[in-house]
Homo-oligomer: A and B are copies of this chain.
Amino acid sequence: MELSDCLPFWDTLSEQQRQQLVHAAALRTVEKGTVIHGPGGRCTGLLAVVSGQLRAYILSEEGREITLYRLFERDICLFSASCMLRSIQFDIAIEAEKDTAFWVIRPEVYKDLMERLPAVANYTNELMADRFSEVMWRMEQILWKSFDKRLAAFLLEEAALEGSDVLKITHEAIGHHLGNPREVVTRMLRYFQGEGLVELARGSVRITDMEGLRALAG
């Protein structure tokens, strides 16, 4: 996938501006599990996913994590280039959840275009609004939904992403996604198993009652 396919405002750029972006972009590939950005790191740059899957998350001082959103093919990550916007005062981390290829665009070049061109600035606005909406959705889940509903929704989401009823994931990793300690995840999964919703094995969770999980997730 070309850089131009990732940037919807490409057609509005002059040939010179396109060349600027092309020279500011580098294609990288990383293995599953690689932490690409932060937390507390430098301004990595704008990321545009070519293939694979990235996860954006926050990390507490005690090492607890919570997933904010996922990035798939053609998705752009703005917060790995937070130096572009002085008002961004929070810090996320990004890791590859699958082997991933992505473009990294130098933030100063993108920023320069954003400051001059309304199409780039407004695209950036929509990007931020989109991520903001995802984070608000997560926050509402955390605030209003009890943990059983959140865990059920998470298992369904993972099954849909993987295209499989069998999820190769540890209880600790689930805890990182949802912001809960491993023990709490294990306790709830055992309860789910008792209810016939899942079957647990070492390092995997098999969904045995998809409809039951859907009813619980609400």
Q: Give chain B residues whose Cβ lies under 8 Å from the Cβ of A133.
A: 87-90
Q: How far is the CB of A45 from chain B (nearest CB, A)?
A: 17
Q: How far is the CB of A119 from chain B (nearest CB, A)?
A: 9
Kindly name the residue among A90, A116, A131, A179 whose own CB sees the greatest number of chain B CB atoms within 10 A.
A90
Bound Cα distance from A60 to B125, whole angstroms: 27
Q: How far is the CB of A142 from chain B (nearest CB, A)?
A: 7
* Overall SS of chain A's interface: helix
A128 touches B126 (CB 8 A): no
For chain A, give the interface size range: 35 or more
Q: Is A160 an interface residue (CB 8 A)?
A: no
Bound Cα distance from A122 to B114, whole angstroms: 8
Q: Is A72 an interface residue (CB 8 A)?
A: no
CB-CB nearest in chain B for A78: B129
B142 touches A88 (CB 8 A): no
Q: Is A41 an interface residue (CB 8 A)?
A: no
Q: Are A60 and B90 also in contact (CB < 8 A) when A118-B118, A125-B124 are?
A: no
Bound Cα distance from A44 to B162, whole angstroms: 41
Partner of A121 from B87, B125, B135 at Cβ < 8 Å: B125
